[in-house]
């Protein structure tokens, strides 16, 4: 029996994908690394949203977190240090129909990539960003990163870090056109998944800082927060997260926070004695840069063919 081409395409588009359809190479992260939890949450999100692997793109820079595209059976771009954002923006401008994700680390994003980070927030393109923040350069064997706490002894700061760590959330909430900011921790997988789901469904630049454990170089950094659930402050709201009974029973330090209140969001993150987890800020009215610039609309088949022919003509004999 023959099947019409249009029916074949329809079947391909409606195909239901399983978790295995998104699993790429075997992760080489250390046992207990928070990157493993983030990967599991993202693969589950892709399955639940039934994202087409051929229409999904993961972009990264350099670092432990930036190995992420290797472990997803989708398209991926493992770029150079600090340049994940401009690559992702270029992809979104050329192909606004793709689901574009960025995985970046505290060094990759907040040091060499800081200028790109700031302008990426300002452009507010429809990209989902995960900042894997373990507060240390792990791939290069324990160097202090921009987010390392003051006093941290590392291979580059043997006497202890001299400065307070940069606060990625405070920076992001201070940038013009910011539209979505959230914070998660890798050791509460249910809430991590819910936050990433909210970020994916937000139309705009979704910035999720994930407080992540590094068992190899900083095994005790988050011990106080792991052993004392009261130091995790869960944010909930009708327009934010809705907490399950199981999570509420374990994490009883909760705060009702309206994500539309940016001033309150800034106040919440200023308390460093606890980790606020949830949707800090969301503004759905901020325009996306790719729509302002009509991304993709001029790239017709004829336009692309003409460009290729013009390049080929340079080498004609």
Map out the domains of the chain as residue ranges. Answer: 19-313
For residue range 131-164, list pLDDT tens digits in order: 999 999 988 899 999 999 999 999 999 999 999 9
For residues 275 and 229, give the distance between their C-alpha atoms in angstroms, rounded to a whole number: 10
pLDDT confidence of residue 3: 58
State residue 295's pLDDT score.
Answer: 73
Assign 12 a pLDDT band (cuts: 50, 70, 90). low
* Residue labelled with tokens 């074949």: 8
User: Quick one: which of 132, 108, 147 has its CA closest to 212?
Assistant: 132
* Cβ–Cβ under 8 Å, residues 195 and 187: no
pLDDT score for 201: 98
Q: How far apart are CA 218 and CA 222, in angstroms?
A: 8
Residue with tokens 């690394």: 33
User: What is the reported pLDDT for 304?
Assistant: 80
What average pLDDT does range 72-90 have in this prediction?
A: 96
Q: CB atoms < 10 A from the CB of 140, how many?
A: 14
Those residues whose C-beta lies under 8 Å from the C-beta of residue 40, and which sit 6 or more positions away, are 189
Mean pLDDT, the chain, whole residue set: 93
Where does residue 242 rank: exposed (0-12), middle (13-18), buried (19+ CB within 10 A)? exposed
Mean pLDDT score, 298-309: 80
d(CA 313, CA 307): 10
What's the pLDDT score for residue 8?
56
Q: Quote the pLDDT of residue 44.
A: 98
Q: What's the whole-number mean pLDDT along residues 187-210?
A: 98
| Residue of 54, 51, 92 whose CA lies nearest to 203 | 92
pLDDT given for residue 302 in this prediction:
83
Tens digits of residue pLDDT in 228-246: 999 999 999 999 999 999 9
Distance separating alpha carbons of residues 106 and 92, to the nearest angstrom: 23
Q: What is the pLDDT of residue 2?
A: 52
Write the CATH number of the domain with boundaries 19-313: 3.40.50.970
pLDDT of residue 6: 57
pLDDT at 202: 98
What was the pLDDT predicted at 1? Answer: 45
Give the burial string for 266-288 (b: 16+ CB within 10 Å, else e): eebbeeeeebbbbbbbbbeebeb
Angle subtended at Cα 49 by Cα 197 and Cα 83, rounded to the nearest 5 degrees: 60
Query: pLDDT tens-digit profile of 49-73?
Result: 999 999 999 999 999 999 999 999 9
Distances 63 to 49, 150, 263 between C-alpha atoms, Å: 28, 22, 33
């Amino acid at each position: 029996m023959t099947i019409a081409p249009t029916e074949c395409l329809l079947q391909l588009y409606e195909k239901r994908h399983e978790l295995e359809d998104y699993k790429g190479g075997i992760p080489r992260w250390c046992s207990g690394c928070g990157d493993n939890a983030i990967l599991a949450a993202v693969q589950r999100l892709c399955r639940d949203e039934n994202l087409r692997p051929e229409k999904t793109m993961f972009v990264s820079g350099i670092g432990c977190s930036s190995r992420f595209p290797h472990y997803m059976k989708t398209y991926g771009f493992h770029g150079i240090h600090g340049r994940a954002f401009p690559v992702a923006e270029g992809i979104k401008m050329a192909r606004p129909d793709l689901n574009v994700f960025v995985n970046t680390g505290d060094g990759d994003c907040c040091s060499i990539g800081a200028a790109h980070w700031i302008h990426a927030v300002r452009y507010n393109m429809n990209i989902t960003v995960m900042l894997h923040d373990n507060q240390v350069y792990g791939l290069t064997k324990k160097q202090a990163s921009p987010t390392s706490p003051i006093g941290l002894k590392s291979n580059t700061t043997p006497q202890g870090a001299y400065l307070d760590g940069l606060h990625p959330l405070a920076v992001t909430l201070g940038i013009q056109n910011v539209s979505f900011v959230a914070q998660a921790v890798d050791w509460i997988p249910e809430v991590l998944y819910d936050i990433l789901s909210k970020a994916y469904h937000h139309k705009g630049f979704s910035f999720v800082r994930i407080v992540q454990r590094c068992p190899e170089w900083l095994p005790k950094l988050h011990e106080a927060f792991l052993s004392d659930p009261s130091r995790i402050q869960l944010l909930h709201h009708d327009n934010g997260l809705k907490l399950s009974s199981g999570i509420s029973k374990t994490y009883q330090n909760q705060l009702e926070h309206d994500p539309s209140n940016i001033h309150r969001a800034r106040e919440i993150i200023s308390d460093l004695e606890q980790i606020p987890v949830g949707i800090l800020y969301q503004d759905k009215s901020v325009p996306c840069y790719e729509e302002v610039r009509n991304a993709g609309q001029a790239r017709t088949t004829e336009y692309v063919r003409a460009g290729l022919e013009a390049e080929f003509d340079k080498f004609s004999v």
